[in-house]
Amino acid sequence: MTTGNTIWWHVYPLGATGAPIRNRVEADADHRLRKLGPWLDYLIELGCNGLLLGPVFESVGHGYDTLDHYAIDARLGTGEDFDWLIQECTARGINVMLDGVFNHVARTHPAVQQGLAGDTDWEGHGELATLHHDEPQVREMVTDIMCHWLRRGIAGWRLDVAYSVPSDFWADVLARVREQFPDAMFLGEVIHGDYAGIATAGTMDSVTQYELWKAIWSSLHDANFFELDHALGRHREIAQRVLPNTFVGNHDVDRIASKIGQDKAIIATALLLTLPGMPSIYYGDEQGFVGLRTEGFEADDAVRPELPPTPEELSALGGWIFAEHQALIGVRRRHPWLTRASVDVVDLSNETISLRCFDDEHELYVDAWLTSPVGVRVHAGGETLYEFSGS
């Protein structure tokens, strides 16, 4: 695995490119994937070196209801558009990870007609059919899909709802894929349970760290750093066993700036970029985008918005937030050892916390406070590496 030190910019392509999620037009030849082209230099300028893409395969609606894992969604373009995007990313040294939905498929997927899926709905969603993971044909199909796109130039796979798939399925399939692509990365989406245990049993390289996400925003929201202290104990143990994918925003949760405000969102980002793990930045968070999930068919629209045609057309109001993200990502890039570091809490109160992040050869400290004005400082050896004070 060579991508552990990647800092990902996480994009939901259907939303970011303005594709219709509902009421889609079948004969759409808009080549929307190419709309991401102007944002690749922006990604580099931000300091990231990875593009984590949400679903890009042919699907019914939101992308997690796959119809064909071998075809690019017509709303996004063609296979040629995808190859172009990979070439543009490769030229800039950007790793690309795809979102693999291998737990379930759309009920109209051919696998259902072939008897390889469909006995049960997934989590009550009648439009989704759970794959029969014990079937050899399903294992062969998923192995072939993964290898197909790895040959096309991607660096790895995000495994959607990995927690719902039997561990022996992942262990079998990933072993087959690694025979051909030993350096591929596999990031499992896990929300509840024994994160490291699930990842280890399934032989995944990384696992989503939802517990840390929850503790970061909640402790900042409630002025209760004891919650973060508790979560960091778990995080330390998880990080000793598997690489956590850390984040403060993604396509399934409320925007961090809407949850806790812009100033505290900077503190959250400072924690994200100094704690052990493999960080991902959800597109727009670096500009202070806001949005809260709702109910019904449009529940996710607010957190999966369309980007303007070019970065230059972004509102100037988010410029200072972008600059703070740049500075913090710069700290992370200059201290790559943080990915595999450990962390201790050295001072704690409801409104203040001080952390020591360290390995055998390095250490740095993070001090955060919620007394007015809120702020955060990152320092090492008496030198301030980063400091922020809110308004």
pLDDT per position as a tens digit, 326-367? 999 999 999 999 999 999 999 999 999 999 999 999 999 999
Name all contacts of 140-149 with Cβ < 8 Å and 24+ positions apart: 141/111, 141/116, 142/100, 142/102, 142/173, 143/173, 143/176, 143/177, 145/69, 145/70, 145/100, 145/102, 146/100, 146/173, 146/177, 146/184, 147/177, 147/180, 147/181, 148/70, 149/98
Domain span at residue 74?
Answer: 3-341
pLDDT above 60: residue 44: yes
CATH number where 135 lies: 3.20.20.80
In a domain, 316, yes or no: yes
In a domain, 347, yes or no: no
pLDDT above 70: residue 52: yes
In a domain, 233, yes or no: yes
In a domain, 380, yes or no: no
pLDDT bracket for residue 26 (50, 70, 90): low
Confidence (pLDDT) at 2: 59
* Torsion 121-124-125-130 (CA) sign: negative
Tokens coding 202: 């399934």
Query: How many residues in total does the chain contain?
Result: 391
pLDDT above 70: residue 119: yes
Tokens coding 169: 């399925």
Work out the mean pLDDT of the chain and round it to a whole number. 95
Strand ranges in 55-184 using DSSP code E only, listed in sequence order: 57-59, 66-72, 95-100, 104-106, 117-122, 125-131, 156-159
Tokens coding 35: 């709309």
pLDDT above 70: residue 199: yes
In a domain, 386, yes or no: no
Residue that is written with structure tokens 């403060």 in the block: 248
Mean pLDDT (whole number) for 203-209: 98
CA proximity to 148, closest of 52, 51, 83: 83
Tokens coding 47: 């300091």
**Distance between alpha carbon 45 and the CA centroid of its chain, in Å?**
19
Confidence (pLDDT) at 127: 85
pLDDT above 60: residue 27: no
**In terms of pLDDT, which residue wins out, 208 or 391?**
208
pLDDT above 80: residue 130: yes
Mean pLDDT (whole number) for 65-71: 96
Tokens coding 150: 């790895």
In a domain, 391, yes or no: no
Cβ neighbours of residue 108 closer than 8 Å, sequence gap 6 or more:
60, 67
3-state secondary structure of 384: strand
pLDDT above 90: residue 228: yes
CA proximity to 187, closest of 245, 132, 240, 142: 245
Tokens coding 262: 């812009």
Q: pTM of the prediction?
A: 0.97
In a domain, 375, yes or no: no
Confidence (pLDDT) at 30: 78
Residue 254 amino acid letter: D
Share of the chain above pLDDT 70, in %: 96
Number of domains in the chain: 1
Confidence (pLDDT) at 296: 82
In a domain, 11, yes or no: yes
Mean pLDDT (whole number) for 39-50: 98
Mean pLDDT (whole number) for 62-69: 95
pLDDT bracket for residue 28 (50, 70, 90): low
CA proximity to 48, closest of 249, 248, 329: 329
Q: What H or E segment, with its residue span, contains residue 89?
A: helix 79-91
Is the Cβ–Cβ distance between 186 and 159 less than 8 Å? yes
